[in-house]
Amino acid sequence: MKLPITVSEESKEPIYHQIESQLKGLMISGQLVPGSVLPSIRALSNELSCSVITTRRAYQNLENEGFIKTIQGKGTFVNEVDQKSKDQTKEQVASSILEKTIKDLKMLGMTRSEAEKFFFNAMDKKWGENHYE
């Protein structure tokens, strides 16, 4: 199974963290349902061209947080996550996406009000103009 994960060459975010947050994203959005089998550490490392040290770290963190479970000799599986921690994670992932975007906008030399204008324009396009009324 190939997971829709990509490691960015232009992000200072450590690779294990990129893998971790993208896997979380797949789980809370329901693309990875509870019980799904994750690729082995070696197989995912090969797909993403990273080392098993990195992938293992991502898996270990996810396991510590209860997102996945490794059964010796059987593989790694997606856990059932309760709504509360789903919501929490959603917020965390969302704010880290926004933080990254804001950083990029700052790098472009945008002021806050310019960025706000762009942001709301983009929101209007994607969600439809009436959303905020």
Q: Note the residues at the interface with other proteins (CB under 8 A).
A: 9-12, 14-15, 40, 42-43, 45-46, 49-54, 107
Of 10 and 133, which CB lies nearer to other proteins in the complex structure?
10
Distance from C-alpha of 68 to C-alpha of 79, rounded to nearest angstrom: 5
CB 55 within 8 A of CB 44: yes
Of 53 and 97, which CB lies nearer to other proteins in the complex structure?
53
In the complex, minimum distance from the CB of residue 125 to other proteins, in angstroms, rounded to a whole number: 27
Tell me 99's DSSP state.
Answer: H
In the complex, minimum distance from the CB of residue 47 to other proteins, in angstroms, rounded to a whole number: 8
In the complex, minimum distance from the CB of residue 38 to other proteins, in angstroms, rounded to a whole number: 14
Buried b vs exposed e over 102-126: b needs ≥16 C-beta within 10 Å? eeebeeeeeeeeebeeeeeeeeeee
Give the containing element (helix H, strand E) for 62: helix 52-64
In the complex, minimum distance from the CB of residue 19 to other proteins, in angstroms, rounded to a whole number: 11
User: In this structure, what token pair is assigned to residue 77?
Assistant: 């599986």
Of 49 and 83, which CB lies nearer to other proteins in the complex structure?
49
Of 48 and 78, which CB lies nearer to other proteins in the complex structure?
48
